[in-house]
Chain A
Amino acid sequence: DVKVTQSSRYLVKRTGEKVFLECVQDMDHENMFWYRQDPGLGLRLIYFSYDVKMKEKGDIPEGYSVSREKKERFSLILESASTNQTSMYLCASSPTGTGYTFGSGTRLTVV
């Protein structure tokens, strides 16, 4: 089974901190994605990557950046965390095609 691992289940950070959310997949998938889930808003795409060192903005990239130095790892970076970035963050990966495998999510609280 494909496994997508997000390094933290719960995080609490202070406003203005730089935050790193890590995601690792173990099945050599080309595509990796970061979504955030908020009540009433569903899943919204932040950034995605189709290859190493490649990144594309999703629907809500403001306030975020990403890094993909190795195929298996896709990091989401909050340059200066704000309270409106409190959310559930979900990483996903997929091979060529459309089926995603999601990680378990990171519940981030910014205080």
Chain B
Amino acid sequence: DQQVKQNSPSLSVQEGRISILNCDYTNSMFDYFLWYKKYPAEGPTFLISISSIKDKNEDGRFTVFLNKSAKHLSLHIVPSQPGDSAVYFCAANRNYGGSQGNLIFGKGTKLSVKP
């Protein structure tokens, strides 16, 4: 059973507009969430994270929102740039507050930003 779900395999956005990538999870014990970005033939790189005690975290053009009651998080990219075109993975820490990270990933959403 998939515990972290990214239901949109792909998303296409015009340059300068907002990109919204969504992620749902099923386990209410998850307490830390991350987004990773991956270019082809490279390893994923960390983008932004959020703890379950917050509902928003912002870093430049990237903002992550967490709705615990809905078990939903989203990544907003404003404004979108062609260099943002990549696969974005949502991940949740399933160690429930422990010190050892053990992440479970969604299947990813491929974002294409068109000039």
Contacts and interface: CB of A to CB of B under 8 A. Distances in A.
Contacts of A35: 105
Interface size grouping (class) on chain A = 20 to 34
Contacts of B45: 102
Interface string A93-111: 0101111111111010000
Contacts of B32: 98
Interface string B18-53: 000000000000001010100001111110010000
Given A100-B46, A107-B41, A42 B9 contact: no
B81 interface: no
A101 B46 contact: yes
Contacts of A64: none
Interface stretch (B56-64, B67-75, B95-103): B95-103
Interface size grouping (class) on chain B = 20 to 34
A42 B43 contact: no
Interface of A: 4, 9, 30-31, 35, 40-45, 48, 50, 59, 90, 92, 94, 96-105, 107
A105 B89 contact: no
Nearest to A29: B101
A30 B106 CA distance: 24
A92 B38 CA distance: 14
A45 B103 CA distance: 8
Given A31-B100, A96-B100, A42 B105 contact: yes
B42 A98 contact: no
A103 B42 CA distance: 8
Nearest to A40: B107
Given A59-B104, A98-B93, 11 more contacts: A40-B9, A41-B107, A42-B89, A43-B105, A45-B102, A90-B43, A97-B101, A98-B32, A98-B101, A102-B44, A104-B43
B43 A102 contact: yes
A31 B101 CA distance: 8
